[in-house]
Chain A
Amino acid sequence: MPSRFSDVEASGYVAKQGEASRNTKSRAIAYVSMLMVFVSGLRLSAEEHPFGLDENQPYGRLTTEYVTPHVAWADPYYKGKTRALIIAPTWSQRETVELAQRLSLDFTPWMSATFKSFVTPAQADPAFSFFQAPPEVVQRAGQEALRKDYDVIIVGKQEWSSIPGQQRFELLKRVAEGCGLLYINPPSGDKELNIVFGKHPRRRDPSLSVRICHFPRCLDSERLTSVAL
């Protein structure tokens, strides 16, 4: 651990210097970050899209090549990589990468359009509709994601009822078989979730609105709760 803090200090992320120096470095970091986003974006667009969409379509793609300043808190983790399915909107999945920077994570994202809906109705405006993933592609992404095995399923504020029935059934089956389920901001009053959270051991931190069910055996739950937040 000390060596990691040394790395952080060397990057200038931890305040040890004067205000002016810090501002200059922040601006430099911001500039480099923007450049890296641009460069990594170019690299992304040159690749074949994993679901056969336009090469510039962001759906289904996450890059770990752009690294933000972070503390690699549990990477490597002494129990190895945690296999995680992460269900959240496309535009919020960068948090998956941020988590993976801090925790040894073998992640598979299943991206939705919004917290309330996996797909949005077709829009006539081509500037907007370009960024909409076709429903059948989103469905295929879910089917392919659920062919893999996971230690934990993380649902990032996604409305449970917005997940298609077949996939909800599969997710609950996985949990019943021992896979972990970490639900951030679960909806209240959902009958299916009430059954799940009612039947299985759970912990809840009332201040954080996180419900944890069947924590994966490979993880130390205290540590993941801390790092995830």
Chain B
Amino acid sequence: MAESLKVRVEHEEKITPAADNKPPVNSESWTFHAGLARAMVRYSRYLNRPPDFTGNYPSLPNSDTGIGLDGGAFGNWYRGNAIRVIINDKDIFAGQPATKIEWREGDNGHLRLEWELEEGRSVALNFAVPDDGHAVCLCIDLALNALKVNSLNIQLTCYPGGFGPAYGIPSHRWVSTAQNQAEVPQDFSAKVFPKISFDANGSWIFYADKFENRGSLGLVVLPEEKSAGEIALSSYGVGTILNYPPETRQIHLSFRAYSIVNDAARKLFVESVNEERERLKSASLWQQ
């Protein structure tokens, strides 16, 4: 019984050998089995450093490599590349692959990916999946020492409602926050897709597709971390940029995904935001 109460973590790894002057590709996934629910974190990257490769090649050269989420509707955060950390306009994950990866099963499932940078600096992504699997929570630790930070932002990519537009299926993307909302209907005719701002005191963003009416996504942030930014819509992908104050050394996010219809999902999501914020702040979520 005690074993079955744990969030189980299933790890898979596949290495594609180097070819055509490109480094080998390492694709890993961690599936968190939380009761009946499943959430998955993926990390795929080029192993661009010796001894794997001696040439010059970025670790994440395109939008299909990086850190993604998967497992049911979580796949709409995009399994290839959902999260990037940009410090002083530099994509931390593009320069080199993660140097330390560890995961652990327990009351919550945990995964930690760490990038050891020059001069003892490091960036670590700590994922936690609660025992009911309702969210993929992320705590980013930034050990930047004396680095002068001019800009610090998180870039997220998602496809609310799924990938139908890539196959000729219409879409009607819709994003809402507590203060703003925007949409790209099927008959959208303006030359520029809309963007909406995300206020520093905001705590959630809901992403959906009104045509598909399922597969919506939610993001919970902590207002005390003062992230302000914008969400750029299109008829397909939706990009979110969250700018944090330079002195920020820890960032908390909760990723949500819903298979149910939009109205029910949005209600469920918005009603859960306060509880989720508290969960993100609780030490027990992150204890490994």
Contacts and interface: CB of A to CB of B under 8 A. Distances in A.
Contact of B35 (A48, A52, A137, A139): A139
A29 interface: no
Contacts, number: 63
Contact of B37 (A139, A165, A167, A169): A139
Nearest to B39: A136
A143 B132 CA distance: 9
Nearest to A118: B36
B173 interface: no
Nearest to A138: B36
Interface string B252-283: 00000011110111001000000000000000
B72 A136 contact: yes
A142 B131 CA distance: 14
Contacts of A76: none
Given A51-B264, A52-B268, A143-B132, A136 B5 contact: no
Contact of A52 (B4, B72, B133, B260): B260
Interface in A144-200: 164-169, 192
B1 A53 contact: no
Contacts of B264: 48-49, 51-52
Nearest to B131: A166
Contact of A164 (B3, B36, B134, B260): B36
Interface range for A: 20 to 34
Contacts of A51: 260, 264
Contacts of B261: 49, 52-54
Contacts of B265: 52
A57 to B, nearest CB: 9
B37 A136 contact: yes
A99 B35 CA distance: 30
A168 B36 CA distance: 12
A135 interface: yes
A187 B162 CA distance: 40
Contacts of B258: 52
Contacts of A142: 36
Interface range for B: 20 to 34
A134 B73 CA distance: 9
B260 A137 contact: yes
B45 interface: no
A169 B132 contact: no
A165 B36 CA distance: 9
A119 interface: yes
What is the interface of chain A mostly: helix, strand, loop, or mixed? helix
B38 interface: yes
Contacts of B4: 164-165, 168
A196 B99 CA distance: 48
Contacts of A53: 259-261
B276 to A, nearest CB: 15
Given A143-B132, A169-B1, A169-B5, A119 B36 contact: yes
Contacts of B133: 136, 139
A164 B35 contact: yes
A167 B260 contact: no
Contacts of B6: 165
A163 to B, nearest CB: 9
B1 A136 contact: no
Contacts of B36: 118-119, 135-136, 138-139, 142, 164
B144 to A, nearest CB: 36
B277 to A, nearest CB: 20
A49 B260 CA distance: 10
Contact of B1 (A119, A137, A143, A165): A165
Interface string A125-142: 000000000111111001
30 contacts: A48-B264, A49-B261, A52-B258, A52-B261, A52-B268, A54-B261, A119-B36, A134-B260, A135-B36, A135-B38, A136-B36, A136-B72, A136-B134, A137-B260, A138-B36, A139-B35, A139-B37, A139-B133, A164-B35, A164-B36, A165-B1, A165-B3, A165-B5, A165-B35, A166-B132, A167-B35, A168-B1, A168-B4, A169-B5, A192-B1
Given A136-B133, A165-B35, 4 more contacts: A51-B260, A52-B261, A52-B265, A135-B36
